[in-house]
Amino acid sequence: MSVTGVTHHVCIGGTYVGVNMKRLEAGVQIFVEQIHDVIEIMPQNTQIIFLSATFPSNALEVTTKYMKDPIKIVVTEKELTLEGVRQLYVTVSREEESKFDELVDLYEMIAVQCIIFCNTRRKIDWLTEKMRSRNLVVSSRHGDKDQIERDDTMKEFRIGSTQVLITTVLSARITDVQKVSVVINYDFPNNREDYIDRVGRKCVTVNFVTDEDRVMLRYITCGTKVFAIMSIGVRPC
């Protein structure tokens, strides 16, 4: 069924779990512009419920425009959990080449599926090209790529054709890949909510932390255990 060119699917509990999963795996089509278009053709008295793992400014704009005195139910930071996550960090230089060399050393030690997070799409493209120039097999995904390419990337990652996926936190919310057991924050996130989104699964998390990131690291991991590791490129005798 299509409204304003957007294909949608209704998931209802029951026996069609497999069908629903395949439809959801086809990808997310709706973004802010389409949300505006859909709401505009709905009756004015329609009840709107807005759900989100985090509330970035562009999401809050939707609530301000289309909701009147909405009731907000939010999870406090204390309720956001890192249970089951083993957190590690390695101090890296701000100089990208040095930081990249640390990642290459870590890549050579990984034998399981892994997600590498960057903060920007430009960094994803740069890092993907750099790793492939070293003959390292990686996939990458972000919002500037078309839907078919994103779907193909996720299919390859799910079936194990590639072990490493480079992405952003926004893209990763729709990548519920159960086999992932290692998460690398190549770029350390700017807030605790993004950190939770990235590592909110039972896994080992390796954080690349510059001197400027240390304050944020302490804030984000306050009340949890985080272990420092030696420079990955340094091998014990």
pTM of the full structure: 0.67
**Does residue 58 contact residue 32 with C-beta atoms inside 8 Å?**
yes
pLDDT of residue 175: 46
**pLDDT above 80 for 179:** no
Summarize the confidence of residues 121-143 as an average pLDDT.
93
CATH 3.40.50.300, the chain: domain bounds: 77-228
Residues 6+ apart with CB under 8 A from 181: 112, 113, 114, 202, 203, 204
For residue 172, pLDDT beyond 90 = no
Cα separation, 127 vs 100, whole angstroms:
8
Mean pLDDT for the stretch of residues 38-64: 76
Candidates 153, 150, 129; CA nearest to 139 is 153
Q: Are 158 and 150 in contact (CB under 8 A)?
A: no
pLDDT at 237: 28
Q: Which helix (H) or strand (E) holds 6?
A: strand 6-7
Least confident stretch, 136-145, 196-205, 220-229: 196-205
| Pair 23, 38: CB distance under 8 Å | no
Q: Which residue has the higher pLDDT, 71 or 189?
A: 189
Give the DSSP letter of residue 213.
Answer: G
Could you tell me which residue, 86 or 10, shows the higher pLDDT? 86
DSSP state, residue 53: S
pLDDT of residue 2: 46
CATH code at 77-228: 3.40.50.300
Least confidently predicted of 62-66, 107-111, 112-116, 173-177: 173-177
